[in-house]
Amino acid sequence: MSPTPIDHLTPDDLDAIGAEFDAIRDEVAADLGEADAAYIRRVIAVQRALEVGGRASLMVGLLPPAWFAGTALLSAGKILENMELGHNIMHGQWDWMRDPEIHSTTWEWDNVSASEGWKKSHNVEHHSYTNIVGKDRDLGYTLLRLDPEQPWKPAHLAQPIYNIALAAFFEWGIALYDLEVDEARKGRKPWKRVASDAGRLLRKARKQVVKDYVVWPLLSGPSALPALAGSATANVARNVWTHTIIFCGHFPDGAETFDFDPAELDSESRGAWYVRQLLGSCNIEGPPLLHMASGNLSFQVEHHLFPDLPSNRYAEVAPRVREVCERYGLPYVSGPLHRQYGQVVRKIARMALPGGATQAEPALEPASESRPVALAA
Amino acid sequence: MKLLDAAAALTTPVLPEEYLAYVNPLWATRQPRGRVEAVVPETPDAGAQPEGHGVGFPRTHVPGQYVRVGVDVEGVRHWRTYSLTSVPGRPDRRFAITVKAAPEGRVSEQLVRRTRVGDVVRLAPPAGEFVLPTPLDGPLLFVTAGSGVTPVMGMLRALVARGPLPDIAHVHLSPTRPEAIFGDELRRLAHAHPRLSLHEHHDDADGRFDLATLGERVPDWRERHAWACGPAGLLDALTAHYTAEGLSERLHLEHFAPVVAAGPVGTGGRVRFLASGLEVEADGATPILVAGEAGGALLPSGCRMGICHTCVGRLCSGAVRDLRTRELHDTPDALVRTCVSAAAGPVEIDL
Q: Which of A37, A92, A105 sits opposite B72 (nearest CB)?
A: A37
Tell me which chain A residues have a C-beta less than 8 angstroms from the C-beta of B10: 55, 211, 215-216, 219
Is the separation of the CB atoms in A364 and A1 below 8 Å? no
Stated pTM of the model:
0.89
Q: Do B13 and A106 lie within an 8 Å CB cutoff?
A: no
The one-letter code for the residue type at A270 is: R
Report percent pLDDT > 70 for chain A.
93
pLDDT recorded at residue B57 = 75
> CA-to-CA distance for A220 and A232, rounded, in angstroms?
15
Is A36 in Cβ contact with B72 (below 8 Å)?
A: no
A96/B296 Cβ within 8 A: yes
For an interface test with A, the pick among B30, B31, B72, B289 (most A C-beta atoms closer than 10 Å) comes out as B72
Q: What percent of chain B has pLDDT over 70?
A: 96
> What local confidence, expressed as pLDDT, does residue B42 receive?
86
pLDDT at B261 over 70: no
CB–CB of B276 and A104 under 8 A? yes
**Confidence at B258, pLDDT banded by 50, 70, 90:** low
Residue B277 to chain A, least CA–CA distance (Å): 10
Instruction: Give the pLDDT of residue A367.
Output: 33
pLDDT tens figures, B202-226: 999 999 999 989 999 999 999 999 9
Contacts of A210 in chain B (CB under 8 A): 9
- Give kind and range of the element (H or E) at residue B228: strand B225-230
Q: Closest chain B residue to A113 measured between Cα atoms?
A: B13
Local confidence band at B296 (pLDDT 50, 70, 90 cut-offs): confident
Q: Is the pLDDT of residue A137 over 90?
A: no
User: Using a CB-CB distance cutoff of 8 angstroms, which residues of chain B are in contact with residue A106?
Assistant: 298
Query: Is A213's pLDDT higher than 80?
Result: yes
Assign B260 a pLDDT band (cuts: 50, 70, 90).
Answer: low
Residue A48 to residue B12, Cβ atoms within 8 A: no
Q: Per DSSP, what are the bridge partners of residue B99?
A: B47
| Least confident range of A22-26, B220-224, B303-307 | B303-307
Closest residue in A to B276 (Cα–Cα): A105
Residue B28: closest CA among chain A residues belongs to which residue? A101
Model pLDDT, residue B59: 77
Name the closest residue on chain A to residue B79, using Cα atoms: A98
Question: Is A99–B293 a contact, with Cβ atoms under 8 angstroms apart?
Answer: no
Share of chain B above pLDDT 90, in %: 54
Q: Using pLDDT thresholds of 50, 70 and 90, give the confidence band for residue A142.
A: confident
Contact B9 A215 (CB under 8 A): yes
Helix (H) / strand (E) element for B67: namely: strand B66-73
Q: Decide if pLDDT at A364 tops 80.
A: no
Whole-angstrom CA distances from B104 to A2, A373, B107, B110 are: 60, 50, 9, 11
Higher pLDDT, B311 or A27: A27
Q: What is the pLDDT of residue A109?
A: 97
Please, what is the average pLDDT of chain B? 89
On chain A, the residues whose CB falls within 8 A of the CB of B13 are: 108-110, 204, 207-208
**Alpha-carbon distance B23 to nearest alpha carbon in chain A (angstroms):** 12
The yes-or-no verdict on residue A296 having pLDDT over 90 is: yes
Distant-in-sequence, close-in-space partners of A191: CB < 8 Å, separation ≥ 6: A184
Provide the shortest C-alpha distance from residue B113 to chain A (in Å).
Answer: 17
The yes-or-no verdict on residue A376 having pLDDT over 60 is no
**Are A99 and B77 an interchain contact pair (Cβ–Cβ within 8 Å)?**
yes
8 Å CB contact of A37 and B75: yes
Q: List, in order, residues 6 or more apart from B300 with CB less than 8 Å away.
A: B310, B311, B351
Report CB contact under 8 Å: B19, A48. yes
pLDDT surpasses 80 at A372: no
* Contact flag A110-B293 (C-beta cutoff 8 Å): no
Per-chain mean pLDDT for chain A: 91
- Is B170:B198 a contact under the CB 8 Å cutoff? yes
